[in-house]
Structure 1
Amino acid sequence: MSKKWLYGFFGILLFVVGVLIPQGKALAFHDVPSKYETEIRYLIDRGIVKGVPGGDFAPDQIVTREQAATMVGRALGLDGDRRNTVFYGVDSNSYASGYIQSAYEKGIITGYTDGTFRPKKQMTRGEMAYLISKAFSLSDQSPVHYDDLQSSGSQYEAINKVTTAGISNGYSDGTYKPTHSITRTEFSLLVARGLNANFRVSQDNNPLEERVVTAGILNARSGPSTSHSIIGKLSRGTTIEVYSEQGDWLKFSYGSLEGYVHKDYTAPKTSGSRTIAIDAGHGDGDGGAQGNGVLEKEINLKVAKRVQDYLENSGIDVVMTRSDDTFVELGDRVTYAVNHNADTFVSIHSNSFSNPNVSGVETFYSSSALSQRASDSKRLATFIQNRLVKAMQSNDRGVKDVPYKVIDDTPLPSALVELGFVTNDSDASKLGSSYWRDRAAKAIYQGIIDYYNWKG
């Protein structure tokens, strides 16, 4: 027997069986993603996830069907003793045979119509949904929609169950991608969420609550203690979305930043008594910019009305300068807002340029007014810009001081938002999409809330 064969055998054995990792040694794997350190350490400490040859975690390695069965079997405490199975090609020589047979007997897994299990085949996100929903006996369903999935059939039901339970969710473009393979990191997260409800995410990324940062600068960490690494910083007045509590720590998200903050440095979000004017630019005969099959006045109005819904649902009064396809003179928009006791003014627009390669989000304010109003306007514009860039996944063109009439003539703190360029293919595709319009609206709403919380 050659040494090369022995080394290969023991390398496979290390991956399959793993070494017993003492409590607290989870970080021996140097390649565990810091963002998911808590969930993966939870599995490692329980012997559910083990390393690959060489001692790495291998976060991006694709999971096979036998590896998935083994991880779920360990998580559920199934009998993993090697033995013959009901499937052709999976006998007692297979390291995963015990877990595969046990999972079959429990009704957790099934094979193919030809009597095989295909253990080396890569696990897909759709197959994962079947496995996880059965492994953790999920039954609840809710109104769930993914753009690439028909809302019926057994696969949809399985994906619906794991989504409703907060174990899995889709991508930022509104798809689920059921035929895509799944990595060790992704599958580990699903198992951790199945075992521990504290790790679960809310359906459609809707938070359990919103809280406001009260510290001057608050460290965001990769896990629920000060021993975890700092992954970002949040300023006073920032509104975060909270998904779960672990002791004194909150699992949160803010744009693309996800992590943990200490609860003592946050406070429940309150809207207070506020009235904001939302101005959908252009209207009627003034269509505004157009290109790539989209028209500015229509984009502006659709986004503005969704902003209105978000704000009113949070208890803020909204004054709309127009709610349908009509035209209002610029000066009259300002007068209408002031006469209806608005304390803030936000105008929504879409951009254009002669060069179709120009793209991105930008937000304007005017400083040619009283210093406090100018300072507040800049803050408002900055909060909205920060939220929009992240939500739209767009080029950040910045916050700019330009005396556009509709924000220059008003005595109110005000900002003018340019959602993107209708003359750019990528921007126009988003601006014409109901999904991306809603993301833009929610981002503007969150930016306004950030401003109000900062304002106090």
Structure 2
Amino acid sequence: MDPSFGAGLAQAPEEPFTDVTSPGQWFYEDVRNMYTDDYITGFRDATFRPNVDVTREETVTFFGRVLDLDGTKRPVSFSDVEEGFYSSGYIASAVEEGIIVGMTEERFAPKREIIRGDAALILKRAFDIPDTDEEYFSDVEEEYYAGAVNAIASAGIAEGYPDGTFRQEQSLTRAELVRILSVAKNMNN
């Protein structure tokens, strides 16, 4: 008998990921719910790796699943995204929907870690979050994503850090991405 999967194919493990097992983890419920709804996946070793920085292609794939975008692999206008990439369909769909743009006209940089400011911009576009005149964070000023950061804060999706900062240039982790997607999805239901 397999200690993780039981005695037969009908039994699934109690916890889908070996590193997301405690209700005391701030991301526990979000990860479990998004996994149960088939929006997110983990790795072949049965881990989710919540504290690992998320890439641009992973981010768009997670968004694509939540938004029910067409994920069918296909050619993309970016030279660094091959048709066979698991993310190519979601990237193509997100471009078509006006949710994302590349680093340049020709490059998307799919393997590059996404920063928190860019994730805020994608989130604002994806869920059509209204603008605000309020400024919520001491470190967000005139960057291209400043309006998006303040909009998602105004909508109650992101809180930032206890010191009053958002740290928009910092990479986003997989757990943070799942949290903001989960909150935004639940607000739109």
- TM-score (normalizing by structure 1): 0.37
Does residue 102 (structure 1) correspond to residue 90 (structure 2)? The answer is no
- Tell me which residue corresponds to 2:15: 27
1:86 CA drift (Å):
1.0
User: Deviations along 1:332-378, whole A, 9 cap, x unmatched?
Assistant: xxxxxxxxxxxxxxxxxxxxxxxxxxxxxxxxxxxxxxxxxxxxxxx
SS at match of 1:28: coil
Higher helix share: 1
Match of 2:151 in 1: 161
- CA RMSD in angstroms comes to 1.9
Structure 1 residues 99, 144: CA separation in 2 closer, same or farther (over 3 Å shift)?
Answer: same
The 8 Å contact of residues 26 and 44 in structure 1, kept in 2 or not, is answered as no
Gaps of 5+ in 1: 1-21, 199-456
State the match for 1:83 in structure 2. Answer: 74
Structure 1 pair 31/136, CA: closer, same or farther in 2 (3 Å)?
Answer: same
The question of 1:123 aligning with 2:114 is answered yes
Distance 1:92 1:140, change over 3 A: same
Look up the equivalent residue of 2:62 and give its one-letter code: M
2:175 equivalent to 1:197? no
Greater than 6 Å deviation, 4+ residue runs? none
For the structure 1 residues 26 and 81, does the alpha-carbon distance in structure 2 shift closer, same or farther, using more than 3 Å as the test?
farther
SS class of match (2:137): coil
| Partner residue of 2:165 out of 153, 168, 175 | 175
SS in 2 for 1:70: helix
1:88-111 CA-to-partner distances (Å, cap 9, x unmatched) read 121212110000000000000001
Task: Give aligned pairs, total.
Answer: 175
- Note if contact 1:140-1:165 (Cα within 8 Å) is conserved in structure 2: no
Q: Displacement, 1:61? A: 1.2
What letter is aligned with 1:83?
A: R
What SS does the corresponding residue of 1:154 show, helix, strand or coil?
A: coil
Matches within 5 A, 1:350-365: none
Contact 2:136-2:153 at 8 Å conserved across structures = no
In structure 2, C-alpha distance between the alignment counterparts of 1:184 and 1:53, rounded to whole Å = 16
Distance in 1, Cα, partners of 2:88 & 2:14: 27
Deviations 1:10-46 (A, max 9, x none): xxxxxxxxxxxx9x86722131253332222110111
Name the SS for the 1:27 alignment partner.
coil
Whether the 8 Å CA contact 2:16–2:32 is kept in 1: the answer is no
TM-score (norm 2): 0.86
- After superposition, give the CA deviation of every residue in 1:101-143 in whole Å (9 maximum; x if it has no partner): 0000000000123511000010100110111111111114252
Q: Which amino acid aligns with 2:171?
A: S
- Which one-letter code corresponds to 1:112 in the other structure? M
Larger Rg: 1
Residue 127 of structure 2 aligns with which residue?
136
Give 1:54's match in structure 2, choosing from 45, 48, 59. Answer: 45
- Unaligned regions of 5+ residues in structure 2, if any? 1-9
Identity of aligned residues (%): 34
Is residue 63–residue 181 contact of structure 1 (8 Å, CA) maintained in 2?
yes
Higher strand share: 1
Q: Distance between the aligned counterparts of 1:37 and 1:145, measured in 2?
A: 26
Spell out the pairing of 1:259-278 with structure 2 (5 A cutoff): none
Cα distance between partner residues in 1 of 2:30 and 2:180: 9
- What's the CA shift string for 1:135-172, capped at 9, x where partnerless? 1111142522322121x453110101111111112111
